[in-house]
């Protein structure tokens, strides 16, 4: 059995590259976003090639058949919705470049998907997770500081691992974060996170680096910034130590940050600013999480719950 993955034809491969170049040059799309688009478009081009077509000669009936095949193979509705959104964006670009006269997917409807509530943690679970790293090692000190910053400032994992030493102002208690679209924002650290970063810089960072002058605040290998994958592996390890067996995601502490702020009365606009969301509707998902938690508390503790 061959392990060679099917590839799109040369013409379609060139189109995919041109589209991704457009996203990068015109919109500053991240590597993660570009990789997701490449994955979706490559899969679509391979499916079209098997049907005797290509990206610019897609028959309208091929996509519904393929979506049905994916559902039977176990792909979730949300996965197919994201795939279709990727294809729609590609064909809008192709129309704008006059590569097509009409959108071949114009009559295909997007699946209706309810917004998924993000996985989060209770406040006591967060405390257990933050306390899980062993503080008698430099790695443990680094991980404790990273977890405290992740929760205390509500950062994305990609923002956390990319932090440099000059991004943190411990005197003012803020961190300068470069988020999506290369937009910078200042986020308060909070007293606990500032304490643990200070202690880590004094007691742990030097032991992890060959060259202390390198800028990575939380180094991985070769004094460079840690990868997201490495940090996610560390989170899962600490969750086991903390006895947390519920499903986690790389952004679990970011979700907890937002949810706990709202639970304690924070303004939604303030949470939007802290998270770096450009659209308030993105932040509003956390109001559903907070509401669900309040309803559960009411059911557990109210005499008529």
Radius of gyration of the chain (CA): 23
Max Cα distance, the chain (Å): 68
Would you state the structure tokens that stand for residue 10, as one six-digit string? 């040369």
Question: Exactly one of 142, 234, 238, 254 is catalytic; which is it?
Answer: 254
Would you state the structure tokens that stand for residue 282, as one six-digit string? 């993105």
Would you state the structure tokens that stand for residue 215, as one six-digit string? 């800028």
Question: Exactly one of 144, 234, 251, 260 is catalytic; which is it?
Answer: 251
Q: Is 251 a catalytic residue?
A: yes
**Shortest CA distance to 196 belongs to which of 241, 231, 146?**
146
Question: Exactly one of 128, 180, 199, 228 is catalytic; which is it?
Answer: 180
Burial 288-303 (b: 16+ CB within 10 A, else e): ebbeebeeeeeeeeee
Alpha helices in 28-137 (DSSP H): 31-50, 62-72, 77-96, 123-130
**Shortest CA distance to 17 belongs to which of 38, 46, 47?**
38
Question: Exactly one of 156, 234, 238, 255 is catalytic; which is it?
Answer: 156
Q: Is 180 a catalytic residue?
A: yes
Alpha helices in 74-190 (DSSP H): 77-96, 123-130, 138-153, 157-161
Residue 268 vs residues 61, 149, 198, 272, 290: alpha-carbon distances, Å: 44, 21, 30, 6, 11
3-state secondary structure of 154: coil
Alpha helices in 154-224 (DSSP H): 157-161, 191-203, 205-208
Q: Is 254 a catalytic residue?
A: yes
Q: DSSP 3-state helix, strand, coil percentages of the chain (rounded to 5)?
A: 60, 5, 35
Question: Exactly one of 82, 176, 199, 277 is catalytic; which is it?
Answer: 277
The catalytic site residues sit at 156, 180, 251, 254, 277, 286
């Amino acid at each position: 059995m061959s392990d060679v993955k099917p590839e799109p034809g040369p013409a379609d491969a060139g189109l995919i590259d041109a589209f991704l170049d457009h996203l990068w040059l015109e919109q500053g799309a991240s590597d993660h976003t570009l990789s997701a688009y490449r994955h979706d478009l490559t899969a679509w081009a391979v499916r079209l090639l098997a049907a005797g077509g290509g990206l610019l000669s897609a028959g309208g009936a091929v996509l519904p058949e393929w979506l049905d095949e994916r559902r039977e193979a176990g792909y979730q509705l949300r996965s197919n919705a994201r795939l279709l959104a990727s294809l729609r964006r590609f064909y809008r670009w192709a129309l704008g470049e006059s590569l097509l006269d009409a959108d071949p997917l114009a009559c295909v409807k997007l699946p209706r998907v309810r917004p998924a509530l993000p996985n989060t943690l209770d406040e006591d679970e967060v405390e257990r997770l933050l306390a899980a790293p062993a503080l008698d090692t430099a790695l443990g000190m680094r991980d404790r500081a990273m977890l405290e910053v992740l929760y205390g400032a509500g950062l994305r994992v990609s923002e956390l691992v990319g932090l440099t030493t000059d991004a943190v102002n411990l005197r003012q208690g803020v961190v300068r974060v470069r988020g999506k679209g290369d937009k910078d924002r200042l986020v308060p650290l909070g007293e606990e996170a500032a304490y643990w970063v200070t202690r880590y810089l004094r007691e742990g960072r030097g032991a992890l680096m060959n060259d202390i002058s390198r800028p990575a605040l939380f180094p991985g290998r070769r004094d460079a910034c840690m990868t997201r994958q490495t940090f996610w592996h560390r989170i899962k390890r600490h969750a086991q130590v903390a006895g947390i067996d519920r499903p986690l995601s790389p952004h679990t502490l970011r979700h907890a940050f937002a949810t706990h702020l709202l639970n304690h009365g924070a303004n939604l606009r303030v949470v939007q600013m802290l998270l770096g969301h450009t659209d308030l509707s993105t932040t509003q998902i956390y109001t559903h999480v907070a509401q669900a938690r309040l309803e559960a508390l009411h059911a557990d503790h109210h005499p008529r719950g």
